[in-house]
Amino acid sequence: MPTALKIEDLSFRYDRRGVDSPPVVRVNSFVLGTGEMALLRGASGSGKTTLLSLIAGLLNPTLGRIWIADQDLHALHGASRDRFRGRHLGVVFQTFHLLHGFTALENVLAALMFSDIPRREHDARARGLLDRLGIERLDARPEALSVGQQQRVAVARAVACRPTLVLADEPTASLDPDNACVALNLIKDACREAGAALLCVSHDPAAEEQFERVEDLSSLSGRS
C-alpha cells in the first residue's frame, strides 16, 4: 500500500546545553496510507504539536526518520524542504492562522503560490474551493468573517495545493460539540475530495468518534 506518511524510530528532545532533557516526542513506528485518515490523541503537553512540527519539517528530529510520499523529509534541507512542504503538506491550525491584510481568496492563493499547480489555474482553483466550502465573500478579510467561515477558509487553504497529507492540529478545540462535528466532517470531506491523507491530533474525546483509526501518542512510543 502506498504511504502518505511513514515514521520510524523518531525521537525529539530540545537541545538545552548541559541538561540531559528527556525526549518530548518518541514514535517507534507509524504509517498512514494514501488518503487514509487517522486521529492521534494525547493529553495536553504530550508532544502532539511538536510531532506535527516534525512531520511538517519545521523541526529536525534528534533521531529517526520521517517519509512523506516516500520522500525522506529530513534528507531535504533549506529551500528544498520548504518547497516540498508547499507541494505536499497542508496544515489546519486550531486558531486558523489566516493572513490578516489578505482577503479570503488571497489566503487560499497564498498556499497555491508555493504549490506545483500552474499559476494560471490558481484563481479558478481557489475560487472553486471556497465556493464548495460555502464562502461567498471572497474579498472579505479574515476579521470580517465568522469563526466558522474562517475555519472553512483555513481548510480550503490546507487542501489548495492538492497535498499528500493534511495535518490538523486540535481543529475542534475552540468549538462546541455540534460545530466540532461539522468542522471535522468539513476537513475530512475536503481531504477526501483532494485525495489527501489526514492526520488529526486532538485531546477531544468527541473527535474520536469521527475517525475509524484512532492512535494514542503514548502507545506509539511504547510507553503505554
Q: How far apart are CA 214 and CA 7, in angstroms?
A: 16
Residue number with CB closer to another protein (7 or 25): 25
Which of residues 30 and 96 has its CB atom nearest to another protein in the complex? 96
- Report the residue number, 31 or 99, with the smaller CB distance to another protein: 99
Can you tell me which residue has the cell 483532494?
Answer: 194
| Separation of alpha carbons 205 and 193, rounded Å | 26
Q: How far is the CB of 169 from another protein (least distance, A)?
A: 6
CB of 98: closest distance to another protein in angstroms?
Answer: 8
CA distance 16 to 14: 6
- Binding residues for another protein, rule: CB under 8 A, are 49-50, 53, 56, 58-59, 78-79, 82-83, 85-87, 91, 93-95, 97, 99-102, 106, 109-115, 119-120, 122-123, 157, 161, 169-170, 173-174
Q: Which is nearer to another protein, 37 or 52 (CB)?
A: 52
Select 67 or 102, whichever has its Cβ closest to another protein.
102
What is the smallest separation between the CB atom of 209 and another protein, expressed in angstroms? 22
Q: Report which DSSP code applies to 46.
A: S
Torsion (CA) 205, 207, 213, 217 in degrees, nearest 10: -50
User: Minimum distance from CB of 82 to another protein (Å)?
Assistant: 4
Contact 220, 42 (CB under 8 A): no
Sign of the alpha-carbon dihedral angle for 106, 110, 111, 112: positive
By beta-carbon proximity to another protein, the closer residue of 18 and 101 is 101
- Least separation, in Å, of the C-beta of 49 and another protein? 6
The DSSP-derived string for 157-197 is: HHHTT--SEEEEESTTTTS-HHHHHHHHHHHHHHHHHHT-E
What minimum distance in Å lies between the beta carbon of 190 and another protein?
16
DSSP string, 109-149: HHHHHTSSS-HHHHHHHHHHHHHHTT---TT--GGGS-HHH
